[in-house]
Protein backbone atom coordinates (compact mmCIF):
# COMPACT_ATOMS: atom_id res chain seq x y z
CA UNK A 1 0.00 0.00 0.00
CA UNK A 2 2.87 2.36 0.87
CA UNK A 3 4.49 1.67 -2.52
CA UNK A 4 1.17 2.29 -4.30
CA UNK A 5 0.63 5.59 -2.50
CA UNK A 6 4.21 6.65 -3.24
CA UNK A 7 3.66 5.98 -6.94
CA UNK A 8 0.28 7.69 -7.01
CA UNK A 9 1.51 10.93 -5.42
CA UNK A 10 5.10 11.02 -6.64
CA UNK A 11 4.72 14.35 -8.48
CA UNK A 12 4.05 16.07 -5.15
CA UNK A 13 7.72 15.59 -4.31
CA UNK A 14 8.46 18.35 -6.83
CA UNK A 15 8.28 21.67 -4.95
CA UNK A 16 6.94 23.76 -7.83
CA UNK A 17 4.23 21.24 -8.64
CA UNK A 18 3.26 20.93 -4.97
CA UNK A 19 2.79 24.71 -4.73
CA UNK A 20 0.88 24.73 -8.01
CA UNK A 21 -1.46 21.90 -6.96
CA UNK A 22 -2.18 23.51 -3.57
CA UNK A 23 -3.12 26.83 -5.15
CA UNK A 24 -5.31 25.09 -7.72
CA UNK A 25 -7.12 23.06 -5.05
CA UNK A 26 -8.00 26.15 -3.00
CA UNK A 27 -9.12 28.10 -6.06
CA UNK A 28 -11.14 25.25 -7.54
CA UNK A 29 -13.06 24.61 -4.33
CA UNK A 30 -14.15 28.23 -4.52
CA UNK A 31 -14.87 27.96 -8.24
CA UNK A 32 -17.17 24.98 -7.79
CA UNK A 33 -18.93 26.73 -4.93
CA UNK A 34 -19.43 29.71 -7.23
CA UNK A 35 -20.73 27.54 -10.10
CA UNK A 36 -23.36 25.99 -7.84
CA UNK A 37 -24.33 29.40 -6.47
CA UNK A 38 -24.41 30.88 -9.98
CA UNK A 39 -26.66 28.12 -11.32
CA UNK A 40 -29.03 28.52 -8.37
CA UNK A 41 -29.02 32.31 -8.79
CA UNK A 42 -29.89 32.00 -12.48
CA UNK A 43 -32.80 29.70 -11.70
CA UNK A 44 -34.03 32.19 -9.08
CA UNK A 45 -33.72 35.21 -11.38
CA UNK A 46 -35.20 33.50 -14.46
CA UNK A 47 -38.12 31.61 -12.92
CA UNK A 48 -36.53 28.14 -13.13
CA UNK A 49 -35.61 28.46 -16.81
CA UNK A 50 -33.28 25.70 -17.99
CA UNK A 51 -32.82 27.66 -21.22
CA UNK A 52 -31.41 30.65 -19.26
CA UNK A 53 -29.08 28.24 -17.49
CA UNK A 54 -27.94 26.94 -20.85
CA UNK A 55 -27.29 30.50 -22.07
CA UNK A 56 -25.07 31.21 -19.05
CA UNK A 57 -23.03 28.06 -19.65
CA UNK A 58 -22.77 28.95 -23.34
CA UNK A 59 -21.49 32.44 -22.45
CA UNK A 60 -18.90 30.90 -20.14
CA UNK A 61 -17.50 28.74 -22.91
CA UNK A 62 -18.00 30.88 -26.05
CA UNK A 63 -14.67 32.70 -25.45
CA UNK A 64 -13.01 29.28 -25.34
CA UNK A 65 -14.42 28.64 -28.81
CA UNK A 66 -13.26 32.04 -30.11
CA UNK A 67 -9.91 32.67 -28.44
CA UNK A 68 -8.36 29.40 -27.24
CA UNK A 69 -6.29 28.72 -30.37
CA UNK A 70 -4.85 32.24 -30.27
CA UNK A 71 -4.02 31.93 -26.59
CA UNK A 72 -2.41 28.54 -27.26
CA UNK A 73 -0.08 30.30 -29.67
CA UNK A 74 0.82 32.73 -26.87
CA UNK A 75 1.67 29.72 -24.66
CA UNK A 76 4.25 28.57 -27.24
CA UNK A 77 5.73 32.07 -27.57
CA UNK A 78 5.77 33.59 -24.07
CA UNK A 79 6.43 32.65 -20.45
CA UNK A 80 3.56 30.38 -19.33
CA UNK A 81 4.02 31.36 -15.70
CA UNK A 82 3.46 35.03 -16.54
CA UNK A 83 0.39 34.23 -18.65
CA UNK A 84 -1.11 32.20 -15.81
CA UNK A 85 -0.61 35.11 -13.42
CA UNK A 86 -2.49 37.46 -15.77
CA UNK A 87 -5.39 35.01 -16.24
CA UNK A 88 -5.78 34.30 -12.52
CA UNK A 89 -5.59 38.00 -11.63
CA UNK A 90 -8.44 38.63 -14.08
CA UNK A 91 -10.49 35.83 -12.48
CA UNK A 92 -9.91 37.30 -8.98
CA UNK A 93 -11.08 40.81 -9.95
CA UNK A 94 -14.21 39.50 -11.69
CA UNK A 95 -15.17 37.18 -8.83
CA UNK A 96 -14.75 39.99 -6.30
CA UNK A 97 -16.92 42.34 -8.38
CA UNK A 98 -19.68 39.74 -8.78
CA UNK A 99 -19.71 39.01 -5.05
CA UNK A 100 -20.30 42.72 -4.34
CA UNK A 101 -23.28 42.78 -6.73
CA UNK A 102 -24.85 39.70 -5.14
CA UNK A 103 -24.23 40.77 -1.53
CA UNK A 104 -25.73 44.24 -2.12
CA UNK A 105 -28.81 42.76 -3.82
CA UNK A 106 -28.17 44.75 -7.00
CA UNK A 107 -27.58 41.71 -9.19
CA UNK A 108 -29.78 41.14 -12.24
CA UNK A 109 -29.84 38.32 -14.78
CA UNK A 110 -27.90 40.33 -17.38
CA UNK A 111 -25.14 40.87 -14.79
CA UNK A 112 -24.72 37.11 -14.56
CA UNK A 113 -24.58 36.86 -18.37
CA UNK A 114 -21.82 39.51 -18.59
CA UNK A 115 -19.92 37.95 -15.69
CA UNK A 116 -20.06 34.51 -17.31
CA UNK A 117 -18.75 35.86 -20.61
CA UNK A 118 -15.82 37.72 -19.02
CA UNK A 119 -14.91 34.69 -16.91
CA UNK A 120 -14.89 32.70 -20.13
CA UNK A 121 -12.20 35.00 -21.58
CA UNK A 122 -9.99 34.39 -18.56
CA UNK A 123 -10.68 30.67 -18.78
CA UNK A 124 -9.81 30.62 -22.50
CA UNK A 125 -6.36 31.96 -21.61
CA UNK A 126 -5.76 30.04 -18.39
CA UNK A 127 -6.81 26.51 -19.37
CA UNK A 128 -4.51 25.75 -22.35
CA UNK A 129 -1.58 27.53 -20.70
CA UNK A 130 -2.09 25.56 -17.48
CA UNK A 131 -2.34 22.27 -19.39
CA UNK A 132 0.93 22.98 -21.20
CA UNK A 133 2.64 24.34 -18.05
CA UNK A 134 2.36 21.03 -16.16
CA UNK A 135 5.16 19.50 -18.26
CA UNK A 136 7.45 22.39 -17.26
CA UNK A 137 6.70 21.75 -13.59
CA UNK A 138 7.59 18.03 -13.51
CA UNK A 139 9.23 17.04 -16.82
CA UNK A 140 8.13 14.33 -19.24
CA UNK A 141 8.80 11.23 -17.02
CA UNK A 142 6.35 12.40 -14.35
CA UNK A 143 3.87 13.98 -16.75
CA UNK A 144 1.26 11.13 -16.74
CA UNK A 145 1.25 11.15 -12.93
CA UNK A 146 1.06 14.95 -12.72
CA UNK A 147 -1.85 15.07 -15.18
CA UNK A 148 -3.70 12.45 -13.13
CA UNK A 149 -3.07 14.35 -9.89
CA UNK A 150 -4.20 17.60 -11.52
CA UNK A 151 -7.44 15.87 -12.44
CA UNK A 152 -7.68 14.49 -8.89
CA UNK A 153 -7.23 18.03 -7.56
CA UNK A 154 -10.01 19.24 -9.85
CA UNK A 155 -12.36 16.48 -8.75
CA UNK A 156 -11.54 16.81 -5.05
CA UNK A 157 -12.67 20.41 -5.38
CA UNK A 158 -15.67 19.15 -7.32
CA UNK A 159 -16.64 17.05 -4.29
CA UNK A 160 -15.94 19.58 -1.55
CA UNK A 161 -17.16 22.71 -3.38
CA UNK A 162 -20.72 21.64 -4.31
CA UNK A 163 -21.28 19.93 -0.96
CA UNK A 164 -20.28 23.07 0.98
CA UNK A 165 -22.11 25.34 -1.48
CA UNK A 166 -25.38 23.40 -1.21
CA UNK A 167 -25.36 23.67 2.59
CA UNK A 168 -24.22 27.33 2.53
CA UNK A 169 -26.92 28.36 0.05
CA UNK A 170 -29.57 26.64 2.16
CA UNK A 171 -28.31 28.43 5.30
CA UNK A 172 -27.14 31.85 4.06
CA UNK A 173 -28.27 32.26 0.41
CA UNK A 174 -25.88 32.74 -2.51
CA UNK A 175 -24.12 36.00 -1.53
CA UNK A 176 -21.56 34.60 0.97
CA UNK A 177 -20.73 31.79 -1.45
CA UNK A 178 -19.64 34.27 -4.11
CA UNK A 179 -17.46 36.11 -1.56
CA UNK A 180 -15.70 32.91 -0.46
CA UNK A 181 -15.05 32.04 -4.11
CA UNK A 182 -13.48 35.46 -4.71
CA UNK A 183 -11.11 35.08 -1.75
CA UNK A 184 -10.13 31.52 -2.78
CA UNK A 185 -9.29 32.62 -6.34
CA UNK A 186 -6.27 34.56 -5.02
CA UNK A 187 -4.46 31.34 -4.02
CA UNK A 188 -2.89 30.57 -7.45
CA UNK A 189 -1.46 34.10 -7.58
CA UNK A 190 0.42 33.47 -4.32
CA UNK A 191 1.63 30.11 -5.58
CA UNK A 192 2.94 31.47 -8.89
CA UNK A 193 4.96 34.11 -7.01
CA UNK A 194 6.49 31.46 -4.73
CA UNK A 195 7.67 29.16 -7.56
CA UNK A 196 11.36 28.86 -8.42
CA UNK A 197 11.92 29.60 -12.10
CA UNK A 198 15.33 27.87 -12.01
CA UNK A 199 13.61 24.53 -11.24
CA UNK A 200 11.25 24.58 -14.24
CA UNK A 201 11.83 21.98 -16.98
CA UNK A 202 12.35 24.05 -20.13
CA UNK A 203 15.26 22.31 -21.85
CA UNK A 204 13.08 20.92 -24.69
CA UNK A 205 11.48 24.26 -25.54
CA UNK A 206 12.60 26.23 -28.61
CA UNK A 207 14.66 29.31 -27.82
CA UNK A 208 15.00 32.79 -29.28
CA UNK A 209 13.44 33.49 -32.65
CA UNK A 210 12.19 29.92 -33.07
CA UNK A 211 9.42 30.62 -30.54
CA UNK A 212 8.40 33.85 -32.30
CA UNK A 213 7.48 31.88 -35.42
CA UNK A 214 4.82 29.79 -33.67
CA UNK A 215 1.62 29.95 -35.75
CA UNK A 216 -1.86 28.58 -35.14
CA UNK A 217 -2.02 27.08 -38.66
CA UNK A 218 1.18 25.11 -38.06
CA UNK A 219 -0.34 23.53 -34.97
CA UNK A 220 -3.50 22.57 -36.86
CA UNK A 221 -1.49 20.99 -39.68
CA UNK A 222 0.61 19.12 -37.12
CA UNK A 223 -2.50 17.53 -35.58
CA UNK A 224 -4.11 16.86 -38.97
CA UNK A 225 -1.11 14.68 -39.92
CA UNK A 226 -1.47 12.59 -36.75
CA UNK A 227 -4.39 10.09 -36.70
CA UNK A 228 -3.36 9.10 -33.17
CA UNK A 229 -4.14 12.66 -32.05
CA UNK A 230 -7.17 13.16 -34.28
CA UNK A 231 -9.16 10.21 -32.91
CA UNK A 232 -9.21 11.23 -29.19
CA UNK A 233 -9.81 14.86 -30.15
CA UNK A 234 -12.67 14.01 -32.49
CA UNK A 235 -14.26 11.70 -29.93
CA UNK A 236 -13.93 14.34 -27.22
CA UNK A 237 -15.48 16.97 -29.50
CA UNK A 238 -18.64 14.88 -29.97
CA UNK A 239 -18.93 13.78 -26.34
CA UNK A 240 -18.18 17.29 -25.10
CA UNK A 241 -21.02 18.55 -27.26
CA UNK A 242 -23.54 15.91 -26.17
CA UNK A 243 -22.62 14.66 -22.73
CA UNK A 244 -20.31 16.96 -20.74
CA UNK A 245 -23.14 19.31 -19.77
CA UNK A 246 -23.92 17.94 -16.30
CA UNK A 247 -23.75 21.49 -14.93
CA UNK A 248 -27.06 22.10 -16.73
CA UNK A 249 -28.69 18.69 -16.72
CA UNK A 250 -28.15 17.80 -13.05
CA UNK A 251 -29.45 21.17 -11.86
CA UNK A 252 -32.56 20.74 -14.01
CA UNK A 253 -32.94 17.10 -12.95
CA UNK A 254 -32.82 17.98 -9.24
CA UNK A 255 -35.17 20.96 -9.42
CA UNK A 256 -37.71 20.00 -12.09
CA UNK A 257 -37.88 16.18 -12.03
CA UNK A 258 -37.31 15.28 -8.37
CA UNK A 259 -38.41 18.69 -6.94
CA UNK A 260 -35.45 18.91 -4.54
CA UNK A 261 -33.51 21.86 -3.14
CA UNK A 262 -29.96 23.15 -3.42
CA UNK A 263 -28.54 20.60 -0.96
CA UNK A 264 -29.88 17.68 -3.05
CA UNK A 265 -28.51 19.25 -6.24
CA UNK A 266 -25.15 19.43 -4.45
CA UNK A 267 -25.45 15.71 -3.67
CA UNK A 268 -25.87 14.91 -7.37
CA UNK A 269 -22.72 16.85 -8.21
CA UNK A 270 -20.85 15.34 -5.26
CA UNK A 271 -21.75 11.78 -6.33
CA UNK A 272 -20.50 12.50 -9.84
CA UNK A 273 -17.32 14.07 -8.47
CA UNK A 274 -16.66 11.17 -6.06
CA UNK A 275 -16.49 8.76 -8.96
CA UNK A 276 -14.48 11.31 -10.94
CA UNK A 277 -11.89 11.55 -8.16
CA UNK A 278 -11.51 7.75 -8.15
CA UNK A 279 -11.09 7.81 -11.93
CA UNK A 280 -8.45 10.54 -11.69
CA UNK A 281 -6.46 8.62 -9.06
CA UNK A 282 -6.70 5.46 -11.17
CA UNK A 283 -5.34 7.38 -14.15
CA UNK A 284 -2.50 8.90 -12.09
CA UNK A 285 -0.83 5.49 -11.72
CA UNK A 286 -0.26 5.27 -15.47
CA UNK A 287 3.45 5.48 -16.42
CA UNK A 288 3.24 5.60 -20.20
CA UNK A 289 1.05 6.69 -23.06
CA UNK A 290 -2.36 4.94 -22.96
CA UNK A 291 -3.42 2.94 -25.97
CA UNK A 292 -6.23 4.04 -28.25
CA UNK A 293 -8.35 1.12 -26.98
CA UNK A 294 -8.18 2.43 -23.39
CA UNK A 295 -9.61 5.69 -24.72
CA UNK A 296 -12.35 3.95 -26.71
CA UNK A 297 -13.28 1.47 -23.99
CA UNK A 298 -13.65 4.16 -21.32
CA UNK A 299 -15.69 6.28 -23.73
CA UNK A 300 -18.14 3.43 -24.31
CA UNK A 301 -18.46 2.80 -20.55
CA UNK A 302 -19.03 6.49 -19.81
CA UNK A 303 -21.67 6.90 -22.52
CA UNK A 304 -23.50 3.72 -21.50
CA UNK A 305 -23.66 4.68 -17.82
CA UNK A 306 -24.79 8.23 -18.64
CA UNK A 307 -27.64 6.77 -20.68
CA UNK A 308 -28.75 4.78 -17.63
CA UNK A 309 -28.60 7.94 -15.47
CA UNK A 310 -31.04 9.68 -17.79
CA UNK A 311 -33.42 6.70 -17.70
CA UNK A 312 -33.23 6.11 -13.91
CA UNK A 313 -36.71 6.50 -12.34
CA UNK A 314 -35.72 7.29 -8.73
CA UNK A 315 -33.58 9.91 -7.00
CA UNK A 316 -31.30 7.48 -5.15
CA UNK A 317 -30.74 5.34 -8.23
CA UNK A 318 -29.49 8.46 -10.02
CA UNK A 319 -27.10 9.15 -7.11
CA UNK A 320 -25.80 5.56 -7.24
CA UNK A 321 -25.29 5.61 -11.03
CA UNK A 322 -23.52 8.98 -10.98
CA UNK A 323 -20.55 7.50 -9.09
CA UNK A 324 -19.40 5.03 -11.82
CA UNK A 325 -20.45 7.58 -14.45
CA UNK A 326 -18.07 10.10 -12.90
CA UNK A 327 -15.31 7.47 -12.75
CA UNK A 328 -15.42 6.68 -16.46
CA UNK A 329 -16.05 10.31 -17.41
CA UNK A 330 -12.68 11.33 -15.94
CA UNK A 331 -10.92 8.09 -16.86
CA UNK A 332 -11.88 8.71 -20.50
CA UNK A 333 -10.92 12.40 -20.36
CA UNK A 334 -7.57 11.64 -18.71
CA UNK A 335 -6.73 8.79 -21.09
CA UNK A 336 -7.46 11.09 -24.02
CA UNK A 337 -5.48 13.96 -22.50
CA UNK A 338 -2.49 11.75 -21.71
CA UNK A 339 -2.55 10.19 -25.17
CA UNK A 340 -2.43 13.66 -26.72
CA UNK A 341 0.14 15.22 -24.35
CA UNK A 342 2.54 12.27 -24.42
CA UNK A 343 2.42 12.11 -28.21
CA UNK A 344 3.18 15.76 -28.99
CA UNK A 345 6.49 17.59 -29.50
CA UNK A 346 7.32 20.22 -26.86
CA UNK A 347 7.47 23.00 -29.49
CA UNK A 348 3.80 22.39 -30.39
CA UNK A 349 2.43 21.58 -26.93
CA UNK A 350 0.78 24.96 -26.29
CA UNK A 351 -1.06 25.00 -29.63
CA UNK A 352 -2.03 21.33 -29.48
CA UNK A 353 -3.35 21.69 -25.92
CA UNK A 354 -5.24 24.80 -27.02
CA UNK A 355 -6.93 22.67 -29.68
CA UNK A 356 -7.62 20.03 -27.04
CA UNK A 357 -9.25 22.63 -24.78
CA UNK A 358 -11.22 23.88 -27.77
CA UNK A 359 -12.76 20.48 -28.47
CA UNK A 360 -13.17 19.71 -24.75
CA UNK A 361 -14.69 23.01 -23.60
CA UNK A 362 -15.39 24.94 -26.78
CA UNK A 363 -18.21 22.63 -27.84
CA UNK A 364 -20.25 23.74 -24.80
CA UNK A 365 -21.45 27.01 -26.38
CA UNK A 366 -22.98 24.95 -29.19
CA UNK A 367 -24.35 22.16 -27.04
CA UNK A 368 -25.43 24.00 -23.87
CA UNK A 369 -28.42 25.94 -25.30
CA UNK A 370 -29.62 22.85 -27.18
CA UNK A 371 -29.25 20.67 -24.08
CA UNK A 372 -31.09 23.31 -22.04
CA UNK A 373 -33.90 23.40 -24.63
CA UNK A 374 -34.24 19.60 -24.56
CA UNK A 375 -34.27 19.62 -20.75
CA UNK A 376 -36.99 22.29 -20.70
CA UNK A 377 -39.25 20.79 -23.39
CA UNK A 378 -38.59 17.03 -23.28
CA UNK A 379 -37.42 16.66 -19.69
CA UNK A 380 -34.06 16.73 -17.93
CA UNK A 381 -33.79 12.95 -18.09
CA UNK A 382 -34.15 12.98 -21.87
CA UNK A 383 -31.37 15.55 -22.20
CA UNK A 384 -29.02 13.09 -20.46
CA UNK A 385 -30.00 9.76 -22.03
CA UNK A 386 -30.18 11.16 -25.56
CA UNK A 387 -26.67 12.56 -25.21
CA UNK A 388 -25.47 9.27 -23.76
CA UNK A 389 -27.00 7.16 -26.53
CA UNK A 390 -25.58 9.34 -29.32
CA UNK A 391 -22.17 9.38 -27.64
CA UNK A 392 -22.22 5.58 -27.35
CA UNK A 393 -22.95 5.22 -31.06
CA UNK A 394 -20.10 7.65 -31.86
CA UNK A 395 -17.61 5.74 -29.70
CA UNK A 396 -18.72 2.43 -31.23
CA UNK A 397 -18.23 3.85 -34.74
CA UNK A 398 -14.75 5.11 -33.76
CA UNK A 399 -13.88 1.64 -32.45
CA UNK A 400 -14.97 -0.02 -35.69
CA UNK A 401 -12.96 2.55 -37.70
CA UNK A 402 -9.84 1.91 -35.61
CA UNK A 403 -10.17 -1.88 -35.92
CA UNK A 404 -10.67 -1.65 -39.68
CA UNK A 405 -7.79 0.81 -40.14
CA UNK A 406 -5.31 -1.37 -38.26
CA UNK A 407 -6.70 -4.76 -39.25
CA UNK A 408 -7.08 -5.73 -35.58
CA UNK A 409 -9.82 -7.94 -34.21
CA UNK A 410 -11.90 -7.71 -31.02
CA UNK A 411 -12.38 -10.89 -28.99
CA UNK A 412 -14.32 -11.63 -25.79
CA UNK A 413 -12.82 -14.09 -23.29
CA UNK A 414 -15.20 -15.38 -20.59
CA UNK A 415 -12.83 -17.09 -18.11
CA UNK A 416 -11.99 -16.35 -15.37
CA UNK A 417 -13.91 -13.07 -15.90
CA UNK A 418 -15.46 -11.60 -19.06
CA UNK A 419 -12.88 -9.38 -20.78
CA UNK A 420 -12.38 -7.95 -24.25
CA UNK A 421 -9.04 -8.43 -26.03
CA UNK A 422 -7.70 -6.69 -29.12
CA UNK A 423 -5.84 -9.08 -31.40
CA UNK A 424 -3.40 -7.27 -33.70
CA UNK A 425 -3.43 -7.88 -37.44
CA UNK A 426 -1.14 -10.72 -38.57
CA UNK A 427 2.17 -9.44 -39.94
CA UNK A 428 2.48 -9.13 -43.70
CA UNK A 429 5.39 -11.21 -45.02
CA UNK A 430 7.63 -10.42 -47.97
CA UNK A 431 6.13 -13.37 -49.87
CA UNK A 432 2.61 -12.01 -49.36
CA UNK A 433 3.69 -8.61 -50.61
CA UNK A 434 5.29 -10.15 -53.71
CA UNK A 435 2.15 -12.10 -54.57
CA UNK A 436 0.06 -8.95 -54.09
CA UNK A 437 2.34 -7.04 -56.46
CA UNK A 438 2.12 -9.79 -59.10
CA UNK A 439 -1.68 -9.79 -58.86
CA UNK A 440 -1.70 -6.00 -59.18
CA UNK A 441 0.45 -6.17 -62.36
CA UNK A 442 -1.85 -8.82 -63.84
CA UNK A 443 -4.85 -6.59 -63.28
CA within 13 Å, CB half, 297: 11
The average pLDDT across 292-298 equals 91
Who wins on pLDDT, 344 or 236? 236
- The pLDDT score that the predictor gives to residue 283 is 77
If you average pLDDT over each of 7-11, 72-76, 338-342, 414-418, which comes out highest?
Answer: 338-342
Who wins on pLDDT, 1 or 117? 117
pLDDT single digits (tens) 203-242: 666 555 445 555 777 778 888 888 888 999 899 989 988 8
- The pLDDT score that the predictor gives to residue 430 is 46
Who wins on pLDDT, 296 or 170? 296
- The pLDDT score that the predictor gives to residue 420 is 62
- The pLDDT score that the predictor gives to residue 209 is 47
- The pLDDT score that the predictor gives to residue 417 is 55
Q: Which of 106-120, 130-144, 226-240, 426-440 has the lowest mean pLDDT?
A: 426-440
- The pLDDT score that the predictor gives to residue 433 is 44
The average pLDDT across 383-397 equals 92
- The answer, yes or no, to whether residue 85 has pLDDT greater than 90, is yes
CA geometry: angle 345, 191, 155, nearest 5 deg: 70
Collapse the DSSP code of 413 into the 3-class scheme (helix H, G, I; strand E, B; otherwise coil) and give the result: strand
Who wins on pLDDT, 440 or 95? 95
Contact call for residues 339 and 228 (beta carbons, < 8 A)? yes
How confident is residue 393, by pLDDT bands cut at 50, 70 and 90?
very high
- The pLDDT score that the predictor gives to residue 362 is 65
Q: Looking at residue 343, what DSSP letter applies? A: T
Who wins on pLDDT, 189 or 429? 189
Report the distance separating Cα 26 and Cα 162, nearest Å.
14
How confident is residue 419, by pLDDT bands cut at 50, 70 and 90?
low
Q: Looking at residue 14, what DSSP letter applies? A: S
DSSP secondary structure string for all residues of 142-192: THHHHHHHHHHHHHHHHHHHHHHHHHHHHHH-SHHHHHHHHHHTTHHHHHH
Residues 417-428: b if buried by 16+ CB within 10 A, e if exposed:
eeeeebeeeeee
Angstrom distances, CA of residue 432 to CA of 140, 231, 241, 440, 443: 40, 30, 45, 12, 17
- The pLDDT score that the predictor gives to residue 18 is 92
In the chain, % of residues over pLDDT 90: 17
- The answer, yes or no, to whether residue 435 has pLDDT greater than 70, is no
- The pLDDT score that the predictor gives to residue 426 is 65
Mean pLDDT of the chain: 81
- The answer, yes or no, to whether residue 80 has pLDDT greater than 60, is yes
- The pLDDT score that the predictor gives to residue 214 is 58
- The answer, yes or no, to whether residue 59 has pLDDT greater than 50, is yes
Report the distance separating Cα 420 and Cα 110, nearest Å.
51
- The pLDDT score that the predictor gives to residue 296 is 93
Strand pairing partners for 413?
A: 419
Who wins on pLDDT, 195 or 207? 195
Contact call for residues 286 and 148 (beta carbons, < 8 A)? yes
Domains of the chain, each with CATH number or no CATH: 8-442 (1.20.1250.20)
The average pLDDT across 290-316 equals 91
Instruction: Name the residue among 296, 253, 305, 312 with its Cα closest to residue 276.
Output: 305
pLDDT single digits (tens) 310-337: 898 888 898 899 999 999 998 998 888 8
- The answer, yes or no, to whether residue 436 has pLDDT greater than 50, is no
How confident is residue 300, by pLDDT bands cut at 50, 70 and 90?
very high
Residues 192-212: b if buried by 16+ CB within 10 A, e if exposed:
beebeeeebbeeebbeeeeee
- The pLDDT score that the predictor gives to residue 431 is 45
Who wins on pLDDT, 295 or 1? 295
Phi and psi (nearest 5°) for 422? -105, 115
pLDDT single digits (tens) 253-289: 877 777 666 666 668 877 888 888 888 788 776 777 8
Who wins on pLDDT, 250 or 213? 250
* Residues 6+ away with beta carbon under 8 Å from 435: none
- The pLDDT score that the predictor gives to residue 205 is 60
Amino acid sequence: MRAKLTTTFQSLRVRNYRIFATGQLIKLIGVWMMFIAQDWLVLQLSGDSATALGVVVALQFTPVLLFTLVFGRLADRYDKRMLLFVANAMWFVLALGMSVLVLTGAVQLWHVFVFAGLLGVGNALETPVRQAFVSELVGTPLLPNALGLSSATFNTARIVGPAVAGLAIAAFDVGPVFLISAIASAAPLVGLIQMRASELHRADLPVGGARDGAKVADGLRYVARRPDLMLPMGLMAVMGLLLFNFQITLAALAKTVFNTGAASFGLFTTALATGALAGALAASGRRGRPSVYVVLGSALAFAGLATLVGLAPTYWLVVALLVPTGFFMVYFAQASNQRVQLGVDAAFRGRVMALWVLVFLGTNPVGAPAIGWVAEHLGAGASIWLGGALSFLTAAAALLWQLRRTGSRLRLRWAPLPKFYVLPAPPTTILQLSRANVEFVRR
